[in-house]
Structure 1
Amino acid sequence: MGIDIHVAGLTKSFGPQVIWQDVSLTLPAGEISVMLGPSGTGKTVFLKSLLGLIKPEQGRVLVEGTDMVAGSDRKVFRARRKFGLMFQDGALFGSMNLFDNIAFPLRQHTRATEAEIRRKVLERMAMVGLDGEERKLPGQISGGMRKRAGLARALVLDPQIILCDEPDSGLDPVRTALLSQVLLDVNAVTDCTMLIVTHNIEIAATLPDNIGMLYRRDLVAFGPRELLLTSDQPAVAQFLHGSTIGPIGMAEEKDDAELARNQGTRTFDIPDQLRPSPGLPDRQGARRHHARVMAELDRLPASARNAITAKLTDPPSQTS
């Protein structure tokens, strides 16, 4: 099962430039979360901060009691073993075939025998739909296959947390949809906690349990997918629905007066969330998510409450 990540008061700057400030959220155990935001808002920096690869000036990132910001190098390195990272470009070694690429973490960080390594690598390749492709080189396969190979490598050490940096980058809509289904199926099988950084609205609308958004140096929203998709926050509504009307412009930021002019109540339909492929187990994270959202309904506006209850009348279950 996945584990919670607790982020409290996180602030990061590069010189005089503040990237984001006072970011606080909890990534719930076993659930899929997506982090959105216009270009240049520090989404990848946030991802690296969770891993302890970038050190914010203030705040904490707690992973089972270890502070990834202020903890000792030894403790941070040990906690980092709980993570798997899917890089934007796959980050595969061009001279190694897919089998050796995926086996690399096992050979570097464990004392597993070659028989054990082979079993684990082939299992992970099958999980992401790469059966029989182990002898191919990265240059001989499509971009979508390289992404899936990168995901298999992220999974090979059985992490409790998977971080995905723009997994849809460079993919056409069909392969993006297929990769979304693979990510959801991986969560159904492993119950790992997942955070996906993306610009893709379709992924945000149909894949995650939770959505966050970085904008104007702040985390302007983080919460259950159903709440964000019915949000009347101007920047959130504009981004999630790809509208030209709103505070986000070509200059990436508008002034406060323009932001105020775009305040207002907007409601939207909530698209159906993806379900695991036939034959896979129900997502335990989806069940926990369902219970949490139902507990929050009373504090929502009627329009949002009606849209959500239409989608959450029963706990998620595998369809036939």
Structure 2
Amino acid sequence: MLGPSGTGKSVFLKTLVGLLKPDRGHIHIAGRDITRLREHDLYEVRKLFGVLFQDGALFGSMTLYDNIAFPLREHTNKTEAEIRRIVLEKMEMVGLLGAENKLPGQISGGMRKRAGLARALVLDPQIVLFDEPDSGLDPVRTAYLNQLIVDLNCQTEATFLIVTHDIASARQVPDNIGLLFRRELVMFGPREELLTSDIPVVKQFLNGRMQGPIGMAEEKDATQVEQELAALQYQPPAFEENHLTPRLLPSPGIPRSPRWEAIEQRERALGHLPTVSAAAGGPGRPQNGAERP
């Protein structure tokens, strides 16, 4: 989920888990409208979720092990032996084995993110929400985190919903992308459709430029927007980055589910499209005037 600052992305996540009530509309999770549930029933639905907050939201006085074990101790009746097995399993998944006794203040921001992710996964949720997981991380750590997210999604098959401002991540990681602007969902659909969209606000956001509907205060005069977009007609083609970046795939050795095998096959096909001749439906004019899919 993309969008300028202040458009309601974090509010959207809080509404999904029932921390905020929407003014209108409905939210259906596992066939239940959470906007109408009583607190007890809402509590049960929340168990389907795992959440990774921007700063990891770890308890500073607890070790990483105790932070990750916290949901199991609070929401289950598992024995300490079972809890230890699960916690170590999740810590291994995020590459934190050996750091069990460290405090959050003793580790890097990237490690705190991974610890928060392990805690979000500890109850085996069906839906995991990421609130700007790349905030505060350098590009290299962000790349490692993106690969970890893809690998974990392949292993758990849970639904991952990521709120981010990082365009490189948005180009590589998701199946689908949505863009919020002025508290409305401007566009939602497969990654390829949004990355090649001609909608002005989508192109402006993906290319990180000033010309377009998004302003510093998110409001621009319509005439100004038209003039800015018209001026872009004279920019060289390299000014736009309206292209498809290859999808980030799971690391070697990660077991592939049928879903991921289909994704990999599709990515291979997309990668070969630029080499296909125009007569075969590749780049160039489609035959018989038909539009290519």
> What TM-score does the superposition give when structure 1 sets the normalisation length?
0.77
Rounded to whole Å, the distance in 1 between the matches of 2:143 and 2:150 is 11
Amino acid at match of 1:155: L
Asked whether the equivalents of residues 181 and 276 of structure 1 are also in contact (C-alpha less than 8 Å), the reply is yes
Moved over 6 A (4+): 263-267, 288-294
For structure 1, which segment, 278-287 or 206-215, has the greater mean C-alpha deviation from structure 2 after superposition? 278-287
Q: 1:127 to 1:110 in 2, by over 3 A?
A: same
| Unaligned residue ranges in structure 2 (runs of 5+) | 234-239, 270-277, 284-293
Q: Does 1:270 align with 2:236?
A: no
Q: Matches of 2:45 and 2:258 in 1, distance apart?
A: 23
Separation in 1, partners of 2:196, 2:123: 38
* SS at 2:13 equivalent: helix
Output the amino acid matched with 2:212: G
Q: CA deviation at 1:71?
A: 2.0
Q: Structure 2 vs 1, CA of residues 288 and 74 (structure 1 numbering), >3 Å: closer, same or farther? A: farther
* SS of residue matched to 2:36: coil
- The residue type equivalent to 1:207 in the other structure is V
Deviation at 1:70, TM superposition (A): 1.8
Aligned with 1:167: secondary structure? Answer: coil
Instruction: Indicate yes or no: 2:144 matched with 1:178.
Output: yes
Q: Distance in 2 between matches of 1:283 and 1:243?
A: 39
Partner of 1:144: helix, strand, or coil?
A: helix
| Cα deviation digits, residues 246-288 of structure 1 (max 9, x gap) | 2222232213334455389978220011010110022554467
Q: Judge conservation of contact 1:213–1:220 (CA < 8 Å) in 2.
A: yes
Residue 110, structure 1, aligned to residue 76, structure 2: yes
1:282 aligns to 2:248 (yes or no): no
CA contact (8 A) 1:276 1:283 kept: no
> Aligned letter for 2:245?
P
Q: Of the two structures, which has the highest relative contact order with CA contacts closer than 8 Å and spacing of 6 or more? A: 1
Q: Which amino acid aligns with 1:276?
A: P
- Structure 1 residues 246, 279: closer, same or farther in 2, change over 3 A? same
Residue 220 of structure 2, aligned match among 237, 248, 254 = 254
109 and 122 in structure 1: CA distance in 2 versus 1, 3 angstrom threshold: same
CA contact (8 A) 1:187 1:283 kept: no
| Pair 1:267–1:86, CA change in 2 (3 A) | closer
Change (3 A) 1:57 1:237: same
Q: Which residue of 1 aligns with 2:34?
A: 68
Contact 1:128–1:151 (CA<8 Å) still a contact in 2?
A: yes
Identity of aligned residues (%): 60
Q: How does 1:41-190 map to 2 (within 5 A)?
A: 41-190=7-156
Contact 1:191 1:284 in 2 (8 A): no
Query: Any stretches of 5+ residues in structure 1 without a counterpart?
Result: 1-34, 295-301, 308-320
Change (3 A) 1:171 1:96: same
Deviation at 1:77, TM superposition (A): 1.3
Q: CA 1:58–1:260 in 2, change beyond 3 Å: closer, same or farther?
A: farther
More strand, by proportion: 1
- Partners of 1:259 and 1:72 in 2: CA distance: 46
Which string of whole-angstrom CA distances, capped at 9 and with x for unpartnered residues, describes residues 44-86 of structure 1? 0000111011100111111111112122222221111000000
Partner in structure 1 of residue 209 of structure 2: 243
Q: Which has the higher helix share?
A: 2
The verdict on how the C-alpha distance between 1:218 and 1:289 changes in structure 2, with shifts beyond 3 A counting, is farther
Q: Is the 8 A contact 2:249 2:264 kept in 1?
A: no
Task: Choose 1 or 2 for highest CA Rg.
Answer: 2
Q: TM-score, normalised by structure 2?
A: 0.84
The separation in 2 between residues aligned to 1:159 and 1:130, in whole angstroms, is 20
SS in 1 for 2:51: strand
Change beyond 3 A, Cα 1:88–1:267: closer
